[in-house]
Amino acid sequence: MRTISIKETIESALSEELALPKTPAPEEPGDGTSAGKLTRREQEVAALVAQGLTNRQIATGLSISDYTVANHIARILRKLRLSSRSQITAWVVQRRTPR
């Protein structure tokens, strides 16, 4: 029986995650707005995108990898059905503006 290294385990998990179909995430319980769809970390990343930070700057500030930031942004775009960082910025600004 062969044991696998931590690196091999992580690479395997990441490859499986990337192979998942790109379907919209199911609605999560929340306040009925699209914010209920995002995790706390995704909301944090969205706020940093809205500040104009690059993936590298976000990664450094949150002590995560550039790859993880890119994954968070991809999930944000998919969950909110957006197609650009500019749209993420508009979404963040809209949520912060009192109605």
pLDDT (tens digit per residue) in 29-52? 334 456 669 999 999 999 999 999
Q: Cα–chain-centroid distance for residue 67? A: 10
Q: Which two tokens stand for residue 11?
A: 């690479």
What is residue 13's predicted lDDT score, i.e. its pLDDT? 65
For residue 98, give the amino acid letter.
P
What is residue 30's predicted lDDT score, i.e. its pLDDT? 39
What span, in angstroms and rounded, lies between the C-alpha atoms of 59 and 11? 19
Q: What is the DSSP letter of 38?
A: S
The structural domains of the chain, ordered by start, are: 35-99 (1.10.10.10)
pTM of the complete model: 0.64
What is residue 7's predicted lDDT score, i.e. its pLDDT? 65
Residue corresponding to tokens 């960082």: 85
pLDDT (tens digit per residue) in 67-94? 999 999 999 999 999 999 999 999 999 9
2 pLDDT exceeds 50? yes
- Backbone phi, psi, residue 53, to 5°: -75, 150
